[in-house]
Amino acid sequence: MAESVKGTVTSLSSLFPVEEAQKAAKRVEEIISERQKQLDQLRDFAADNNTLIRLVQRLPDELHHDIMVPFGKAAFFPGRLIHTNEFLVLLGEGYYAERTAKQTVGILNRRGKALEVQVESVKALMQDLKAEASFFDATASEAAEGLVEIREDYVEETSPKEASMIGIVEPKLPISSQAEDVSHVKDEEYDRIFSRLAELEKEEEEAEHANQEEIGSDDSDVSPGHVILEEEMKSLELEERGKSSRFQSTEKFPDHWHVEGSKATSKDCIVPENCLPENLAYGKFNLTENAPVEPQAEEDVKAPVIAETKAEARPSEPQFDSSKAFTGSIVEHNSDVNSKVQSVSRSSKPVSRFKMQRK
Amino acid sequence: MASSTGLRELQRDLENKANDLSKLQKDISKNHQIRKKYTIQLGENELVLKELDLLSEDANVYKLIGPVLVKQDMAEANANVKKRIEYISAELKRLDSTVQDLEDKQNSKKETIMKLQQKIQSLQAGKGKA
């Protein structure tokens, strides 16, 4: 690859010379005409078959028919057709069978069906060939017009973009810069979502425990969290809704805070996967929002979180501790919770304000 | 002088190879035609077999041998057609293998011809310089 130029430019006519393309197109045309002939022949057979069926159906209507019998190529003599319900039908390969008119019609109908199948197959073949021909024609005309093909490496293009995007956001963050690696953008993104989820679960667990006044065993805190976490991955939104209703019924302050926070994060977790590459503003948004969380979980997803749970689980009022352990984004929520009915979009707005404050 | 005789020899060789190649191609196309014929026959025989199966046991079946129709037993006719289908299938398989073989040969011939052409070209270039 050239140092300055990213892609390569080759004229189409050098790849596919005009004459060659035209030759190919001509050849395909020839094949098509051949197939067309075959198709016509098959259609003729089918038509013959149909007239024959009609004749065979009509013959037994009379006991005998007066006909002109062909004699040689040019001569006819009058004759009479008798035994009008007896046919010697050619089955193919020199085999003949004695059949009645009705049976003969059955055979002929089956033959007609076989012919139809053949017609269809030839038609499909011709369609393919026509597509090929049009492609060759297009190629020939494009080559004649002097079209050029420009090739650029897709991966080369995207990774610097993402890197630069991270570069914009990351330097503001204190810890995240140490662990960042351009090649691990995806993993990191996943980790971030995962850690966020894990924390969320911890919080919920914790809040529940706080409600039930079950403060103490850390192990029991950790394992259910993981179990629920897996469930959460599948149906995040649904479960959240169910929990939110449950929590709101308890009418406790930390729970509200928690519900609001979880709602916001569930959205956040979903968004960056889809929108990060396309929408820069959105991506930044999420990064800054997630940024304060990263320090806790960047090196290891689980361990810091557990430690945090320990720290949070011991005090009887987790509401303040967790708000301290968590960063500004959640403090904002905390203050906003008083108004209870808070849309997600609004909940994320204060965070951006917070970001400006941090700057 | 030596190079020119070498060149001539190479060209003669190339001509021979090209002839061989065209012969091979002819063989292949001939094989394809035979194959096509056999596939058509196979289809026809299968049709006959189907019709024979549909016929009742006591139906009269005739075989056209030369200019005359010879009456045949149903079972006999059935067996004959089946045998014929088997034979054609075997023949088709054989033809496939021979075509494959011929195509392999053709490809190798093409390669040797390409090499010869390159050699001749390089020789001619050398001659042009000298």
Reduce the DSSP state of residue B62 to 3 states and report it: strand
Give the per-residue pLDDT at A348. Answer: 44
What amino acid is encoded at B121 in this protein? Q
Residue B2, pLDDT above cutoff 80: no
Per the structure block, which two tokens stand in for A208?
A: 């529940």
Give yes or no for residue A210 having a pLDDT over 80.
Answer: no
- Tens of pLDDT along A76-103? 999 999 999 999 999 888 899 999 999 9
Separation of alpha carbons A311 and A334, rounded Å: 19
B48 with A107: Cβ contact below 8 A: no
Q: By the CB < 8 Å criterion, does B59 face chain A?
A: yes
pLDDT at residue A357 is higher than 70: no
Give B87's pLDDT tier (boundaries 50, 70, 90). Answer: very high
* Per-residue pLDDT reduced to its tens digit, A51-60: 999 999 999 9
Confidence check: pLDDT of A323 > 50? no
Three-state DSSP class for residue A215 = coil
- For A291-294, which contacts have Cβ atoms below 8 Å and span 24 or more sequence positions? A291/A169, A291/A172, A291/A173, A291/A176, A292/A326, A292/A327, A292/A328, A292/A329, A293/A192, A293/A195, A293/A196, A293/A199, A293/A326, A293/A327, A294/A173, A294/A175, A294/A176, A294/A192, A294/A195
For residue A138, pLDDT over 50 is answered with yes
A339 pLDDT tier (thresholds 50, 70, 90): very low
Average pLDDT over chain A, rounded to whole? Answer: 66
Q: How many whole angstroms from its chain centre is CA B85?
A: 19
Give the model confidence (pLDDT) of B103-119 as tens digits.
999 999 999 999 988 88
Considering only residues A126 and A10, tell me which one the structure prediction assigns the higher pLDDT: A126
Q: What percent of chain A has pLDDT over 90?
A: 25
- Domain ranges in chain A are 8-150, 159-358
The pLDDT of residue A263 is above 60: no
Residue with tokens 């190919």: A24
* Nearest residue to A273 via CA among A187, A342, A211: A187
The number of distinct structural domains making up chain B is: 1
Owning domain of residue B8: 2-129
CATH code of the domain made up of A8-150: 1.10.287.370
- A107 contacts in B (CB within 8 Å)? 51, 54
With a pLDDT cut of 90, the percent of chain B lying above it is 59
Q: What is the dihedral of CA B111, B116, B122, B123, to 10 degrees?
A: 170
Residue B79's pLDDT band, with cuts at 50, 70 and 90, is very high
- From chain A, the residues in CB contact with B84 under 8 A are 93
Q: What is the pLDDT of residues A212-236, one digit of tens each?
A: 654 444 444 444 444 444 444 544 4
Residue A302's contacts (CB-CB under 8 Å, 6 or more residues apart) are A198
Which has more confidence, B15 or A180?
B15
Got the DSSP string for A35-88? HHHHHHHHHHHHHHHHHHHHHHHHGGGSS-EEEEEEETTTEEEEEEE--TT-EE
- CA distance linking residue A142 with residue B125, whole number of Å: 35
Share above pLDDT 70 across residues of chain A, in percent, rounded to a whole number:
47
All residues of chain B having their beta carbon less than 8 Å from the beta carbon of residue A94 are: 63-65
Euclidean distance between CA atoms B130 and B127, whole angstroms: 5
CB contact under 8 A, B62 and A107: no
Q: Would you list which residues of chain A are within 8 Å, Cβ to Cβ, of chain B?
A: 88, 91-99, 106-107, 110-111, 114
How close does chain B come to A115, measured CA to CA in Å?
A: 11
> Given this model, what pLDDT does residue A78 score?
93
CATH number, domain of B45, equals: 1.10.287.370
